[in-house]
Amino acid sequence: MNNIKTKLQEVYIPFLIVSIGTILFYNIFRWTLDIKLGILPLKENLLNFWIPFALPWIPILIWLRRRIRILNVRGKRGNGYFGYQFAMAAAMAVPIIISQNYIEKSSFDLNEISSISKIKELKNEKYFKISSFNIDHNSSLPYVTARTSGRNNDNLNFYLYLACPFEETSSVWYGVEYKKNLSNRINEQRKNSEYRTFLNKSEQEFKTYNFQDVEYFERLGYSDDRDGFIEAIKERNANLNEKEQIILVPKNDVFEERLGNSFPWIFGSFGIGALALLLMVVIPKIDEKELNDFKKNKPLKEDDLKDMIGFLNPMGENKATAILLLLNIIVFLIMTFDGLNIVSPTPKELLEIGGNRRFEVMNGEYWRLFSSMFIHGGLLHLFMNLIGLGLGSSLLENVLGSVKLIVIYVICGILASLASIYWHENTVSVGASGAIFGLYGLILAFTVFKIYPNYMRGMTWMLLGLYAGVSLLFGFLGGIDNAAHFGGLISGFIIGGVLILVNKEQLKKNAS
């Protein structure tokens, strides 16, 4: 009984307090700064999903992570603790995500107005029922874009946004959207055929579109869909004030039923998560040694988080590795908070922020060869490159030194960018993978010419096969810029060969 009481006091009750505090904090924060004051310049997908998904990890890593260690749940691979952390994060994140849907919809009433011109007087409202309106069908403005999604970008999604002006007023638009999903692994000819089919079918459907078939309108907030409609409007109005444009999308459901069961499910989902955590806390035994260390406020002997933070310390042992990792992470965060889609930015968005393409580079924008190395096409793209960069650079930094590693990384990245625009005429290329493959080219050279000692070469061959080999294979399947990969790999191998010719004995000494 005392063991159960200890587990409840030290693990479960702190979990409940932290969870309730985190859920309340984010909902108050979101409602105040975004819905009430409108001063939170973040897209809806960040506010509704990604921040709620990430936020629980902060209190877990700061307060709860140490407490979980008093439970004897190490597991065969030492990953039992992470399972508990993940369960805690899910128990917090799910009700926060559900509550965002409820808060966003319940905070606004339905405004019944007689004409569309009245909508400009209701700047802070979201839902409208309009008695009478007319659409200038012939003046509709289209914009087509594509995004990839899924693991390894294996899905290709086409979007057609049609901004249709209301006749009674300017800067208010009726939004019509069409979309189509297909595999990104099919060949280019098939993609082009599917694209043309999608446009033709959408055009035919739009000709008979019933603009009056609407129960009420929803005003789009800061989102990818709103960006799509704004791009359509900008095709003919390049100098328009984007903030003044109002995009209304039709809704056909009953307004009073828009909330569904979201409110009870906020509490229901938290209750399910809390009950699951209760069982997870009560069932295992207590690790008496960890409990004593916790009561004495002793730090963890094996602390993965501390090791990871140390690895990212630009003043630590792996300076160059940490600097390169942090640069890629910081640039991605800037991209995300600047409004780019966190999962799959469009080629146009990537090009505008510094992506690499032949036309722009050949017309004097040479800086793109460098900037594109630190830009990524989504969270998964960044994550995979960070793994490859961390593993590759950590094998090279002690051999080359910090300064040489960064210089070679940049040189290989630029040469990979050149290879990309040489091979691809109209492809927007981004990502650190070309520069990373340059590092793996060095590792290949150091392995082939036996710079690494015997006990390391088996590991380097395995790493080359698992990361470089698999990445190149996926590149042949489509959706990945293999030209940059091969450009980086070859340039890295050549640079490695030159370094070996110049200073082989010193490199071998460093590697040992």
Q: Are 392 and 445 in contact (CB under 8 A)?
A: no
Between CA 98 and CA 100 the distance in angstroms is 5
Angle between helices 80-106 and 262-282 (to 10 degrees): 170
Catalytic residue list contains 381: no
Q: In terms of DSSP bridges, do strands 127-130 and 110-113 run parallel, antiparallel, or are they unpaired? A: parallel
Q: For residue 120, how many other CB atoms are within 10 A of its CB?
A: 13
Q: For residue 379, how many other CB atoms are within 10 A of its CB?
A: 15
Q: Of 91, 23, 62, which Cα lies nearest the Cα of 281? A: 91
**Long-range CB contacts (< 8 A, 24+ apart) of 394-400?**
394/318, 394/321, 395/443, 395/460, 395/463, 396/439, 396/442, 396/443, 396/446, 397/318, 397/319, 397/320, 397/321, 398/510, 398/511, 399/446, 399/451, 399/507, 399/510, 399/511, 400/442, 400/499, 400/507, 400/510
Q: Are 158 and 191 in contact (CB under 8 A)?
A: no
Q: Are 359 and 424 in contact (CB under 8 A)?
A: no
**Continuous segment of H or E residues that includes residue 76:** none
Between CA 270 and CA 262 the distance in angstroms is 12
CA-derived radius of gyration, the chain: 27
Q: Which of 202, 223, 433, 491 is catalytic?
A: 433
Task: Return the exposure string of 277-287: e unless at least 16 CB atoms fall within 10 Å of the residue's CB, then b.
Answer: bbebbeebebb
Q: Of 93, 83, 91, 88, which Cα lies nearest the Cα of 64? A: 88
- The Cβ-side half-sphere exposure at 35, using a 13 Å CA radius, reads 20
Q: Are 228 and 249 in contact (CB under 8 A)?
A: no
Catalytic residue list contains 394: no
Residue 361, token pair as written in the block: 């580079």
Q: Which of 372, 420, 485, 491 is catalytic?
A: 485
Catalytic residue set: 433, 485
